[in-house]
Amino acid sequence: MEQQKRYGHFDDQHREYVITNPQTPWPWINYLGNEDFFSLISNTAGGYSFYKDAKFRRITRYRYNNVPMDNGGRYFYLKDGDTVWNPGWKPCKTPLDFYECRHGMSYTRITGRKNGVEASVLFFVPLKKWAEVQKLTLTNQSQETKTLKLFSFEEWCLWNAATDMENFQRNFSTGEVEIEGSTIYHKTEYRERRNHYAFYHVNAPIQGFDTDRETFVGLYNEFANPDAVMEGKPRNSHAHGWSPIASHYIEVTLAPGESKDFVFILGYIENEQDKKFSALQVINKEKAHALIAELDTTEKVDKAFAELCEYWDALLNIYKVKTGNDKLDRMVNIWNQYQCMVTFNFSRSASFFESGVGRGMGFRDSNQDLVGFVHQIPPRARQRIIDIASTQFPDGGCYHQYQPLTKRGNNDIGGGFNDDPCWLIFGTVAYIKETGDFSILDEMVPFDNQPGSEVTLFEHLKISMDHVIKNLGPHMLPLIGRADWNDCLNLNCFSWDPNESFQTTENVSEGTKAESLMIAGLFVVTGKDYVALCKKLANGQRSTVNGQWSMVNVQCDFAEEANRMQQAVDAMIEAVKKHGWDGEWYLRAYDFYGRKIGSNECEEAKIFIESQGWCTMAEIGAEDGMVAKSLDSCKKYLECEHGMVLNNPAFTKYIYEYGEISSYPEGYKENAGIFCHNNPWVIIGECIAGRGNDAWSHYAKILPSYVEEKYQTLHKVEPYVNCQMVAGKDAFRPGEGKNSWLTGTAAWMWYTVSEFILGIKPDYDGIRIDPCLPETATDYTVCRKFREAEYEITIHPNGVQKGVKAITLDGQPIEGTVIPYSVGKHVVEVVM
Ligand code: GLC
Ligand code: GLC
């Protein structure tokens, strides 16, 4: 097959990415759903749906790492004479006369045309509904009457996505369905402990159906040529055990020019225990009927879709930039913010690289994700902070992950990642600065979800800081524990057993000297934030939230607390300067035996990115030139065409004392991959140091809209979002992307561009203006909604990289760089 140069393009006006060739170098996916019901959908309609938890409530089945790739999904088959085709090209792969997939904000529209018939499907999850709607529009664009046979297709998953893939001795005997009119119900395990079922409905009479996979497909056929479809005859099969599916059969006649809509609904229902059945073995369908009734016409669906679009208008209206550079504007105004919301919703659970059965929500990941969406949905950020803090232990340590359905800490992975506590401060401070809601600090929050153990959230922050202070090593630097941000830097694990996971195997704390410079920098950054917060509280800080005064009742001598922590921060700075500097860059760590990691003295991996990022953000040793040297070293040793690699030179052999990091071949993941997540740390370091040209050039290298043009084929993964990792300079194919969508990169890219490059920083008392720009930047305007105010801020850079000279607020000059918060609309002019 001849490789096409381009597979798609941005459509900024509609906030869509338009894919014009279905054979993308990797499935390019989108996410549907915003609260409880979620779906993943690829550009050929592959993917699956789940309710809240991708492991425990998987509604439709999906096979990861399959051949062919991305098989299974929601499929519409059209049989027109002898030709069978799908609007999304797959699974039949019949060549289409026209194909287009538009991924938009929580919706996807796939259109195919063949032999004068157009089939266009709009997929979305209506707000507050537990259902995926698929509005199929069939149009006869030919001169003759068309008689078509339409088959829908979904395959049910037996709820628990993990056992669904392994426990076949049981699974093949449990499947159960019910058929009622045009609705197919999936009720496996409902007879016993489950109180939920799913259904697949169409708002038209059907002329047949299938619910048993083997009968529909034929044992020796594939999704590409199911028996029933090829023959044009449904079997009306009734699944019992084996593999239940849902397929409607509809005969459609269309006059020339005629168009017909069909609304398909994939729904999920929960019943109260005592209302599960309407008769023996007959599920109570009342709620399903009600849900169907809310969505069963084109008008109702169009209205629900309009509401979804308005929801996104509102979310994306909070921060809007106009720079005149389309590539930047579309990432800031659309895709970066969208990806942040998706990461908020899915954490690291379900993507085309995360199977949905592995990980729960990460403690550190969720706190970082928060800076990406807190401006859009502050109440949910508030709840998220409390959920996360509730999994903390009384000594300030934390469960590394928790399960979204139960919100409880995950015992399988446990704790001991010593960076985790600091992130709670990072997230909470971002929340308070955005909202002015100091009252969150008064919330009573338990330890390890134990009722009766509640203390204030402020107390949780305090013990988080103390956890670092109480776990210092021989150089007075933070002990790393199981790992710090770099999950793979396992300095206390020592594993020779391939059956062990580095994330859960032994963590020798006795006698360890393993210290982390990454945590040291993180501690200084979050420690300064904590001190500033205490000072605010010492001044009796109050602020308004929705017109109400927000007060903190926490009992604490805040001035004394600020003082205490300032000393700890100062001591940490001294420790880094004394024991954490290698001459040209910051060390990365000390190993179990107290030997340097990330030093010029090391054979490999002489320099690491994480400590450069955090120690430059913390400005440690700036006055002695350390920050500038570190940033220069990043350019010299870490930077390549596609971004900055994590370490250099890459490890070429497994090092038992270092753990998983050296398990990866060079250039991938934590071994010298471009781990996009941590590039922004250095970029922020550049911004704080005022080096706008450098900050911008690093930023543009990993900005998807810039990558889009250059690497449609090389990069492989979706060109509209960031991926976790791009293969580094030591890899076989540098520039190849992996692990798209669910990555801390989204929030960090947002934080970097919105606050440090464009320079609009929410602060306790207002908005701080402090851009750091390339010399080439021209005038730009940011419209920022902030609490109950709206600011239109125009910046005149005048070729200056950093430094605000003058600000006027509504025509009046102000002192300093913080625009004081006041309700209403304001116009701000900034001269640099
Ligand atoms: C993954 C994890 C994140 C970790 C990073 C580096 O992205 O989700 O928690 O910090 O890898 O190992
Ligand atoms: C692996 C990955 C790392 C991830 C971790 C989480 O170690 O390399 O990126 O954070 O798994 O389970």
Question: pLDDT tens digit string along 305-354?
Answer: 999 999 999 999 999 999 999 999 999 999 999 999 999 988 888 999 99
- Please compute the mean of the pLDDT values over residues 50-59 and round it to a whole number: 94
Residue pair 52/68 in contact (Cβ under 8 Å)? The answer is no
Position 404 scores a pLDDT of 76
> CA 758 → CA 374, 380, 479, 810, distances in Å?
18, 26, 36, 20
Instruction: For residue 487, report the distance from its CA to the centre of ligand 2, in Å.
Output: 6
- Which protein residue has the closest C-alpha to ligand 2 atom 4? 487
Q: What is the mean pLDDT of residues 569-592?
A: 98
Count Cβ atoms below 10 Å from residue 542 Cβ, excluding itself: 14
Per-residue model confidence as pLDDT tens digits over 100-145: 999 999 999 999 999 999 999 999 999 999 999 999 999 999 999 9
Which residue's alpha carbon is at the smallest distance from atom 5 of ligand 2?
Answer: 487
Q: Which ligand is nearest to the CA of 361?
A: 1
d(CA 147, CA 226): 20
**Confidence at residue 1, expressed as pLDDT on a 0 to 100 scale:** 36
Closest C-alpha residue for ligand 2 atom 3: 487
Who contacts 559 (Cβ-Cβ below 8 Å, separation ≥6)? 534, 535, 538
* Distance of CA 662 from the midpoint of ligand 2 (Å): 13
Residues ≥6 apart with Cβ < 8 Å to 167: none
Residues 609-656: pLDDT tens digits? Answer: 999 999 999 999 999 999 999 999 999 999 999 999 999 999 999 999
Side chain identity, residue 218: G
Q: Measured in angstroms, how far is the CA atom of residue 669 from the centroid of ligand 2?
A: 9
Q: Given this model, what pLDDT does residue 392 score?
A: 96
- Alpha-carbon distance of 309 to 158, in angstroms, equals 33
The answer to whether the CB of 296 is under 6 A from ligand 2 is no
Residue nearest to atom 7 of ligand 1 (CA): 743
**Residue 818 pLDDT greater than 90, yes or no:** yes
The reply to whether ligand 2 has any atom less than 6 angstroms from the CB of 488 is: yes
Residue 492 has pLDDT above 90, yes or no: yes
| Average of per-residue pLDDT values in the chain | 95
Three-state secondary-structure class, residue 434: helix
Write down the number of H helices and E strands in the chain: 20, 46
Q: What contacts 24+ positions apart, CB below 8 Å, involve 315-320?
A: 315/341, 315/376, 315/377, 316/15, 316/105, 317/783, 317/785, 318/375, 318/376, 318/784, 318/785, 319/375, 319/754, 319/760, 319/782, 319/783, 319/784, 319/785, 320/782, 320/783, 320/784
Closest to 639 measured CA to CA, from 609, 601, 611, 610: 609
Q: pLDDT at position 504, please?
A: 86
SS3 category, 422 = helix
Q: Is the predicted pLDDT of residue 22 greater than 50, yes or no?
A: yes
Give yes or no for a contact between 215 and 235, defined as CB atoms under 8 angstroms apart: yes
At residue 3, does pLDDT exceed 50?
A: no
pLDDT of residue 409: 85
pLDDT at 551: 61
Comparing CA positions, the residue from 522, 633, 505, 645 lying closest to residue 572 is 522
Q: What is the pTM of this model?
A: 0.96
Which candidate, 621, 611, 607, 613, places its Cα nearest to that of 578? Answer: 621
